[in-house]
């Protein structure tokens, strides 16, 4: 559409030496050849070009556009003999076409740079939002863990020491900021978290693991599964006097890796809770940002169990 608009402008702007509809058709034909040839070249070189930074790639696209304009303009003059002025030579015609291509290309480049800067600002804003969501999760877990450690210091000092070491590993990962780690490393952090909560709840917390023999070679946002497990304990184990169970299962299905974190819903009257919101919002936003919308986090309550399902595409 942009090419056809340019052809229309050229047909209306040039001095009429013939029907303007013919001039529009010729200009449209030339512009479409330039556009299609440039796109084909970019497609053929897509693999090496994919490794270039976007700003450099934009300038390279402009260079390809000028090269294709030069070739098409030269071919048009030679094969179609579309001289619009008896005094105009081949060089003058080609230079005029190149000048038009440079102006149009620079306008497109300026538009792209504005888009790129806006996208970078949006990504930065999203990152700050995710960091704020993470900051809201940490105090709740920290206070509970410190209270548990204080209770264990005199009665079971060895377990208190293990609790502090596990807490150190978790907060080292949290304070490292938004980043991606392997699925195996994330599960290691989840195990440390469950060890801490195991000291807090004792026999009231029952954990079931369903893991594949070979862990998928997959990257996940750091501390993305741990909030789901924290929610399961907070809403499925903590409110019930008899405790409850938490399950963590990983499986591959249809080119996706599914990570399921479930907990039994308390049946006896329990004190109300605020719901699975803060942790889920954080994880969902981070997964969507990492996978560009291909991943997802869904929840369901069915058959007396609450389940959070995290889906990630296989690499």
pLDDT of amino acid 83: 47
More confident call, 10 vs 36? 36
* CA 271/CA 230 separation, integer angstroms: 18
pLDDT in tens, 151-202: 777 778 888 888 888 888 777 776 666 678 899 989 988 998 898 888 888 8
| Whole-number pLDDT of residue 24 | 73
What pLDDT, on a 0 to 100 scale, did the predictor assign at position 11?
A: 67
- 304 conformational bin, left if phi > 0, alpha if psi -120 to 50, beta if neither: left
Percent of the chain's residues with pLDDT above 70: 80
Tell me how far apart the alpha carbons of residues 36 and 235 are, in angstroms, rounded to a whole number: 58
Contact 163, 196 (CB under 8 A): yes
Mean pLDDT of the chain: 79
- pLDDT at position 84 is 47
Residue 31 pLDDT? 80
Q: What is the dihedral of CA 264, 265, 268, 271, to 10 degrees?
A: 120
Confidence grade of residue 49 (pLDDT, cut at 50, 70, 90): confident
SS3 of 152, please? Answer: helix
Domains of the chain as residue ranges with CATH: 2-119 (no CATH), 156-313 (3.30.565.10)
């Amino acid at each position: 559409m942009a090419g056809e608009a340019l052809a229309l402008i050229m047909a209306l702007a040039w001095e009429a030496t013939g029907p303007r509809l013919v001039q529009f058709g010729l200009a449209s034909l030339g512009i479409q050849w330039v556009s299609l040839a440039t796109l084909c070249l970019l497609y053929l070189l897509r693999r090496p070009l994919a490794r270039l930074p976007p700003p450099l790639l934009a300038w390279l696209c402009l260079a390809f556009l000028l090269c294709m304009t030069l070739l098409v303009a030269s071919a048009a003059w030679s094969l179609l003999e579309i001289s619009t002025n008896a005094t105009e030579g081949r060089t003058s015609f080609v230079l005029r076409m190149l000048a038009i291509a440079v102006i149009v290309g620079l306008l497109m480049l300026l538009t792209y740079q504005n888009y790129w800067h806006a996208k970078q600002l949006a990504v930065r804003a999203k990152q700050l939002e995710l960091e704020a969501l993470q900051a809201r999760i940490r105090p709740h877990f920290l206070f509970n863990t410190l209270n548990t450690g204080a209770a264990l210091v005199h009665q079971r000092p060895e377990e208190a020491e293990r609790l502090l070491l596990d807490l150190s590993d978790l907060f080292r990962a949290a304070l490292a900021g938004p980043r991606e780690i392997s699925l195996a490393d994330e599960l290691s952090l989840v195990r440390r978290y469950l060890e801490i909560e195991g000291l807090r709840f004792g026999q009231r917390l029952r954990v079931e693991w369903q893991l594949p023999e070979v862990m998928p070679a997959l990257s996940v946002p750091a501390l993305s599964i741990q909030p789901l497990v924290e929610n399961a304990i907070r809403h499925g184990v903590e409110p019930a006097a008899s405790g409850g169970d938490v399950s963590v299962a990983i499986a591959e299905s249809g080119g996706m890796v599914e990570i399921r974190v479930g907990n039994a819903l308390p049946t006896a009257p329990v004190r109300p809770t605020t719901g699975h919101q803060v942790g889920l919002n954080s994880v969902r936003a981070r997964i969507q940002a990492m996978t560009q919308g291909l991943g997802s986090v869904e929840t369901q309550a069915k058959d007396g169990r609450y389940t959070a399902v995290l889906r990630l595409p296989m690499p």
